[in-house]
Amino acid sequence: MANVAMVVTNACDPDPRVIQSARWLTEQGHQVTIHAYDRQQISSALSIIDDVKIIRYHLGKSPYGGLLKTGLGIRKFHKSVFSTLSVDSPDVVVCHDADTLGVGCRIKQKLGIKLVFDMHDLQHTWVLMPNPKSLIRKAISNVMQRKLFQRIKHGDQIFTSSGAIEGGTYPGFKEWLLKHGHDSTVIENRPELAEQIPLPNSQNWTVSHIGRIRDLASIKLLLEAIKLIPESQRPVLHIAGDGTEYDQVKREIEQFSDKFGLKYVIGKSFQKDDIRSMLEQTNIMYAMYNPERGNIADGALSTKMFDAASLGIPSIVNADCLMGEICVVENLGISVNWGNSNDLKNALVELKKSRIKLEKTVLEFKTEYMKNIEILLRD
């Protein structure tokens, strides 16, 4: 059985994709340790979840989506992980997203072990989120993309989180990688189980946006749509998560509430055990993003949509992209053209008393994941 090291630049609390794949490996008798970068230093330094060991590195607080502070923090994390893995000598290192590939390539070169790259998202687009039109951020994004292509060729196996659906119109990350000369296996970020919980027992209805708070433009669009709803019929807005735009989003909602009247709840970081209780109070998940960032058009699939669908909660997502296509084809909610606040308003009103059913779970991808890993381990 193999000793597997996974590396991820978040606290892995929660990160269902990372935990899920690690659990699949431990079920087959492999030993898995996740090396996670707890940038906000709020989670336990050591956790054991279903025989998966999670080591969280507390190296000083560092923001998500920043420039200098974020870069320096990740560099410090890489250095610490490299030191640890140089001693632990795993058989395989699994790098989750491109911001871990640097240390993965160094460990492969030093120890001669297998390198797996699991591309959840287009990491070079994250730096564009606060200001997609910034020339400085575009230049940094281009450098990050070049580094990805330099490093990805050292991978022995590539997984990614999206691919075009059969007979569909829009590409996913598999097609993006193929365009640049790299094949991959698609493992979507879906939950293992699905159910349908009842609508919240409340006279109000709630629109939630739960996860990293990186996109002020998407919240502004949502507020524009809510403004078109008569004040007495407006939803409660629930925002939860951290991120570079948290303070600006909080101010925007507070100012909107003062001017137009809006009930809202804004919470910061949360842990995996908090997600269900928040979703139980949710009528609709809002999962639209500014497409100028790039990753939406290239095939990003929001975990918000799948987390909500796992409990029967509909989502509103971007149209004219793979995420919108899947949402419509699987009846998971409504897709709306970016910038169209009137259509967004209509979608909110239409879905507020709805429930949906998620038919396709990640278990459809588990066999493919394990098959590829086992072949890699036998080579």
Catalogue all structural domains in the chain, each as residue range(s) with its CATH number.
Answer: 3-189+363-378 (3.40.50.2000), 206-351 (3.40.50.2000)
What is the rounded average pLDDT of the residues 306-331?
Answer: 98
pLDDT digits (tens, 9 = 90+) for 77-91: 999 999 999 999 999
Dist. CA 309–CA 275, nearest whole Å: 13
Asked if residue 296 lies in contact with residue 318, where contact means CB atoms within 8 angstroms, the answer is yes
More confident residue, 71 or 316: 316
CB atoms within 10 A of CB 109: 11
Phi, psi of 71 (to 5 degrees): -60, -45
Global confidence as pTM: 0.93
What DSSP assignment string belongs to 52-72?
A: EEEEEE--S---SS-SHHHHH
pLDDT the model gives residue 87: 96
Encoding tokens for residue 335? 């897709």
pLDDT the model gives residue 76: 96
Cα radius of gyration rounded to whole Å, the chain? 20
Which amino acid type is present at position 172?
G
pLDDT digits (tens, 9 = 90+) for 276-314: 999 999 999 999 999 987 799 999 999 999 999 999 999
Encoding tokens for residue 122? 């287009």
pLDDT at 58 over 90: yes
Dist. CA 44–CA 38, nearest whole Å: 9
Asked if residue 85 lies in contact with residue 109, where contact means CB atoms within 8 angstroms, the answer is no
Of the pLDDT bands very low, low, confident and very high (cuts 50, 70, 90), residue 315 is: very high
